[in-house]
């Protein structure tokens, strides 16, 4: 028989032998290391919430745009749509005599001409002026008109001639259509001749030539009944005589010629005239 174990005193718990495994040792080591690290790491202050907006710029993939200085305004062009829609209703006003610029007198204005079908010159010139104005403004020009609509009377021809200077215009162009014999066809560009001032002595002729060249480039033929090669120096047109800025007058067509009457009466035809006149003005002003 094996020897008998000595008895425990009453009330004493039985002790179990302490058995250490490799896993127990490793877990203990890791726990101690963590405790040591926590003890050694410096404490950081808690972040403080701020209600103020951040002023730190956030970089982006594209550079910030730099504002451009405003573009300098383009030159002023004066457009003079010939005649007016109310001229026929007030003949006393338009027949009033005004200085013609060369020592004589001339009627304030006239009613203008029309096609055989009744399309009036004043309506043609007003519509044409709006088209040229829109094209010039799209190209950066500033545009002034000698009349605000096609319902009034006048203004007189001497006032129209002086309007370019009042507007500070670099160039002035008067828009018309002729009423010659039905056999006549083509355009012509008039300028003041002989010149009365520095603006007329050379610049007006240069403007007229630029308009003539642009009209020909637009496939419009020079007149076969007046002027020479599309140019016509005149001393009897008050609006040209009174001008102190480079000024020219474009007679776009003969409204009594059947083919040209159809052209001026159509929106497509007026667009063609407008493009050519705009091109001539831009060529003169080198823009």
Complete domains list, the chain, with CATH: 76-285 (3.40.630.40)
Our answer to whether residue 137 is catalytic in this structure is no
Q: Beta strand 231-234 with 188-192: parallel, antiparallel or unpaired? A: parallel
160 closest CA partner among 115, 114, 201, 110: 110
What percentage of the chain exceeds 70 in pLDDT? 75
Residue 58 has a pLDDT of 39
What was the pLDDT predicted at 73? 84
- Measure the CA–CA gap between 87 and 139, rounded to whole angstroms: 33
231 vs 223: CA distance, rounded Å: 9
- pLDDT at site 210: 98
- Angle at alpha carbon of residue 82, lines to 173 and 221, rounded to 5°: 65
What rounded mean pLDDT belongs to the chain? 84
Residue 158 pLDDT class (50, 70, 90 cuts)? very high
State the CB neighbour count (10 A cutoff) for residue 158: 18
The residue annotated as part of the active site, out of 121, 137, 159, 251, is 251
User: What pLDDT band is residue 163 in, cutting at 50, 70 and 90?
Assistant: very high
DSSP H or E stretch at residue 36: helix 22-40
Strands 76-81 and 142-145: parallel
pLDDT of residue 258: 98
In this model, does residue 196 exceed pLDDT 70?
A: yes
- The SS3 call for residue 252 is strand
- Predicted confidence at residue 70, as pLDDT, reads 53
pLDDT band at 65 (very low <50, low <70, confident <90, very high): low
pLDDT digits (tens, 9 = 90+) for 135-144: 999 999 999 9
Neighbours of 215 (CB within 10 A): 25
Q: Please write the tens of the pLDDT for every residue from 21-40.
A: 334 333 343 333 433 444 34
Of residues 56 and 123, more confidence is placed in 123
220 vs 53, 66, 253, CA distance in Å? 67, 47, 9
pLDDT for 123 equals 98
């Amino acid at each position: 028989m094996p020897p008998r174990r000595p008895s425990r005193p009453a009330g004493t718990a039985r002790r179990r032998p302490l058995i250490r495994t490799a896993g127990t040792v490793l877990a203990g080591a890791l726990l101690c290391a963590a405790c040591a690290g926590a003890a050694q790491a410096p404490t950081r202050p808690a972040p403080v919430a701020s209600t103020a907006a951040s002023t730190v710029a956030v970089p982006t993939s594209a550079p910030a745009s730099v504002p451009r200085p405003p573009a300098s305004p383009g030159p002023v062009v004066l457009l003079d749509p010939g005649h007016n829609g109310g001229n026929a209703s007030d003949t006393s006003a338009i027949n009033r005599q005004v200085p013609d610029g060369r020592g004589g007198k001339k009627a304030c204005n006239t009613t203008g001409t029309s096609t055989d079908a009744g399309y009036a010159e004043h309506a043609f010139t007003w519509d044409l002026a709006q088209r040229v104005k829109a094209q010039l403004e799209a190209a950066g020009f500033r545009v002034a008109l000698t009349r605000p609509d096609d319902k009034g009377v006048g203004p007189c021809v001497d006032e129209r001639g002086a309007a370019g200077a009042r507007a500070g215009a670099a160039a002035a162009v008067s828009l018309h259509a002729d009423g010659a014999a039905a056999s006549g066809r083509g355009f012509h560009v008039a300028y003041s001749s002989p010149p009365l001032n520095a603006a007329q002595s050379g610049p007006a002729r240069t403007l007229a030539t630029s308009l003539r060249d642009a009209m020909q480039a637009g496939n419009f033929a020079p007149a076969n009944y007046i002027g020479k090669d599309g140019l016509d120096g005149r001393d009897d047109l008050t609006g040209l005589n009174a001008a102190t800025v480079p000024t020219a007058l474009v007679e776009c067509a003969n409204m009594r010629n059947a083919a040209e009457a159809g052209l001026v009466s159509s929106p497509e035809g007026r667009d063609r005239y407008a493009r050519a006149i705009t091109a001539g003005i831009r060529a003169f002003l080198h823009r």
